[in-house]
Each structure stands twice: as C-alpha cells, then as structure tokens.
Amino acid sequence: MSMCQRSFDELLSGTAVPDFYLLHQRFPEDAVQNVYQQVKSVCREDGVADRIHPGMRVAVAVGSREYSSMYDVVKAVADTVSERGAYPFIVPAMGCHGGMTAEGQREVLAHFGITEERMGVPVLSDMETVCIGHSASGLEVHMDRNAATADLTIPVNRVKTHTDFEGKYESGLMKMMAIGLGKQHGANICHSMGFSSMSRNVYEFGMTFLQTGKIAFGLAVVENENHKICCVKAIPAEKIPEEEPGLLDYSKSRMPRIPFEKIDLLLVDQMGKDFSGTGMDTNIIGRSVVKGISRPYAERIVVFDLTEKSEGNANGMGLADITTKKYYDKIDFDATYINGMTASEPGPGRMPVIMPTEKNAYLYGIKSCTGNGRGPIRIVHIANTLALKEMFISEGLLDQVQDSSHVWVDSDRYRPVFDEKGNFTGYQKAK
C-alpha cells in the first residue's frame, strides 16, 4: 500500500455507507425468437433481395456498436446475398473507431464473432475513402473504398436514440452511411459543424449515398428494454429516409430507464464502447456534454472499470466525476483523443478524478455529494447502462418506489463488500 493509498483510506474511513435494497424492473418479453430466420424472411419481403443479381459484389456494412444477436443478423444478410448468386464481403462501417486503423476495426468486428472464418465471407478493412459527391450544404461526402468499388452496399445497423444529438435521424442506417462508411475522414467532415448540425448533416450525407444508386437496402433492428431484438426490417434504399424516423420513435419508446426523477450518486460497474459510443448511454445517466443534464439528475457519477471490448477507447470518461486507477491503466489515449477529434468534441475525453481503488472511489462518491444534505443519500448502483432489469438502491430512495407488477424492491437489506485490495466484490445481505 502506497502512502497515497493510506491517506485516502484515512480520509474516507468515517464515510457512512447506507443499507441497500435490490430493485427489479419487469419489461415486456417480446424478443424475436429466431433472429437469423427473421432477417432472411424480411429480406425476401417486397422483393428487397431481388435487387441483388448473380455475379454482383455486395458490401455488407457493419458497425462498432454491439447489439443482441449481432452475429446472426450479419450472417443472415451475408447468406441472403450468397443465395442470390452474388459475392458478399463485410466492411467495418465505424468511422474512426478501432484506433483509426484497418486492423483495429477488423479486431472490433472479431470481438463480436464477425470474422472471415465464422462468416464464410471476406472481411475487407481499409481506412481509405473515395469522395462520392457533396451534401446539400456543400460538404464532401466520403465512402469506404472497398464499399465504393462494390456493385451494391447493404448497411446493417441498430436504430436507437443518439447520445449527443436529437433529430429525425440519429443512430441507425442514415448515420451508418454518413459517418460509419465515411471512415475517419468522412466522419470528421460530417462532425465539422458540431453536434448542433449533426441531424441535418446525417440526413444530407445519407441522401448523397442514396443518390449514388449503390445502396441496395438497409437492414434495421430495434432492441427492447431487455436488450433483445424485438423488430427487424429490411428497407428499400429509396424508403430509408421515410421509414427510419418511425423506427427511431419506436426505439425511444422501448428504452429502459432508471426509475427515479432525482438521485445523488450513480455508481456504474463498467462503461465501454460495447455499451454506448460514450461508454455510458447519456440518455440513461442523464448527463451529456452536448445535451446537458436530465433525469435522474445525478450530482455525482462514479465508474469503476472500462470494458476489454473498448480496446482502451475511454471516450465518455468525461461524463464521470470519479473513477479508478484500474480504469486509468486501461486507457489508450490515442484512440480516445482521436475519437474526440473526429467528433469535434473533446469534452467526453476529459479525465475524471482517479482513486487508487474501487472502495476509495465508492466512498469518495458518497462523501462528495452535497445536494441532498437534509435527508438520506440517494444512490443507484448499476452494472452498466444496458443492464437495468436489476439495480441496487440505497434506503434513501425506498419512499420513491411504488411497488407494482413492473417495479418492486426485495425486503432484504444489503451492504457493499470489498476485498483486501479495495476491489468491490458485490453486495451481501446485512445481518
């Protein structure tokens, strides 16, 4: 133990830790049962797959955001192309992610099980682009070089609300074309006017892609509150601008929430690129560099760790107030800062307070809260911003829970447990 460690232990030793209770949320169970077959089925609807002819080279564009059954979705699209007598290949459509290198983007896909060996088709990863035209505002629009040489491209993506801007088109097919397929260079151009112009730029850049005639159709999925696919749709290219906004509205209606209007402290076990572009979904934590502060209006946010799938990209750490040395040691600053530069927004890459251990971070989070000084501290502890079916809440929030068939709290009391190195190991029932 270092002198610094001893100092923090002493300073935080008198911090009062409340009892916790396990809160449950029940969400609708309406997930698609066989995602692979459902994707193949919707590709056959309305003759969408008939646009693919024998001998064509077809790029299947895949992003860096992992979603439920992602492998099955991409595999089904690639198999559909092959069954038409065409030659599919996969291209990473993820802007600057993966450390802004071709190999890094290939590795991101490999984390999702999307490899040449498993998919049975080539994965062509390249950071080079070609200019395919100009947006209505006069900005150059770029496309992945490999996709640009294909006869057709099929963007495959989840539709959901974006973490940093609002509009008719947020995360989805239009954004995958505008930013994902633009690689770092094209993404940087699209971001160059700031997030206040992003919704318009995504639309205009996406329209430029569609006007080339190189987009066959888009395969869109929507996830339910349980992080399972509940909607699959194959949209003909010319109908994407018309149909994607409805899918976005539906996605927003299926987003889970932390069921409190106001809390003092939010504890998050892990953040990372596999959960959100900003590591933590800003719509869940209620804190965004661009959108500002919203429900649950947490005074402090503590994050314990960064996921391995993030490959060191800690974009979004600026949303936290406190983290750990363990988190810090995993940061790839090049990848993190390139992400910020590409997005023209350095705020999410700012450094929070670094504590030696998770125990120190936990206690410092409690000690630094001041906004609820007249009552018991209100704490919510979640695993990550995708896992909201269960969460631990402090006793200060009990009077705000209205037990129902959808939200309820166990009667058992729990206390946090830390090992001899200060690592948080979970909650155990209080005696």
Mind listing the pLDDT tens digit for each residue in 248-268?
Answer: 999 999 999 999 999 999 999
Closest by CA to 330, choosing from 365, 358, 361, 304, is 304
| Sheet with 217-223, side-by-side order of all strands | 87-92, 57-62, 152-158, 217-223, 229-236
β-strands 287-288, 292-293: how paired? Answer: antiparallel
CB atoms near residue 33 (< 10 Å) = 8
Amino acid letter at 17? V
pLDDT band at 3 (very low <50, low <70, confident <90, very high): very low
Closest CA to 64 of 38, 100, 30: 100
Among 193-202, 217-226, 315-324, 392-401, the minimum mean pLDDT is found in 193-202
Q: Quick one: which H or E segment has residue 393?
A: strand 390-394
Instruction: Out of 153-157, 164-168, 312-316, pick the least confident.
Output: 164-168
Average pLDDT over residues 48-68: 94
* Angstrom distance (rounded) from CA 308 to CA 317: 15
Least confident of 82-91, 335-344, 378-387, 409-418: 335-344
- pLDDT given at position 1: 43
Residue 212, pLDDT > 80, answer: yes
What is this structure's pTM? 0.82
User: Is 310 strand, coil or helix?
Assistant: helix
Confidence of residue 47 (pLDDT cuts 50, 70, 90): confident
Mean pLDDT (whole number) for 285-313: 91
Nearest to 229, CA basis, from 42, 413, 20, 419 = 42
**Paired tokens of 336:** 């993190």
Does the structure show a pLDDT above 50 at 141?
yes
**What is the C-alpha to C-alpha distance for residues 244 and 174, in angstroms, rounded to an integer?**
8
What is the reported pLDDT for 373? 62
**Residue 225: pLDDT over 80:** yes
CA nearest neighbour of 185 among 125, 96, 108, 65? 96
Evaluate if residue 129 carries a pLDDT over 50.
yes
Percent of the chain with pLDDT over 70: 98
Q: Rounded to 5 degrees, what are φ and ψ at 274?
A: -75, -10
55 class by beta-carbon count within 10 Å (0-12 exposed, 13-18 middle, 19+ buried): exposed
Local structure of 242: helix, strand or coil: helix
Q: What is the mean pLDDT of residues 297-308?
A: 96
Q: Please give the Cα distance from 329 to 71 (Å, whole number).
A: 30
**pLDDT tens across 330-343, in order?**
999 998 998 888 77
> DSSP secondary-structure letter at 25?
E
The token pair at 202 is: 């995504």
Strands 20-25 and 390-394: antiparallel
Task: Let me know: does 389 contact 407? Beta carbons within 8 Å.
Answer: no
Tally the C-alpha atoms within 13 A of residue 127's C-alpha that lie toward its C-beta: 15
| pLDDT tops 80 at residue 344 | no
Q: What is the Cα–Cα distance from 42 to 347, expressed in whole angstroms?
A: 41
pLDDT value for 311: 87
What band does 372 get if pLDDT is binned at 50, 70 and 90?
low
E strands of 29-179, at which residues?
A: 57-62, 87-92, 129-134, 140-144, 152-158
Band of pLDDT at residue 13, cut at 50, 70 and 90: confident
3-state secondary structure of 143: strand
Alpha helices in 112-228 (DSSP H): 116-119, 145-149, 173-175, 183-191, 198-211
| Average pLDDT of the chain, as a whole number | 92
In this structure, what token pair is assigned to residue 357?
A: 């251990």
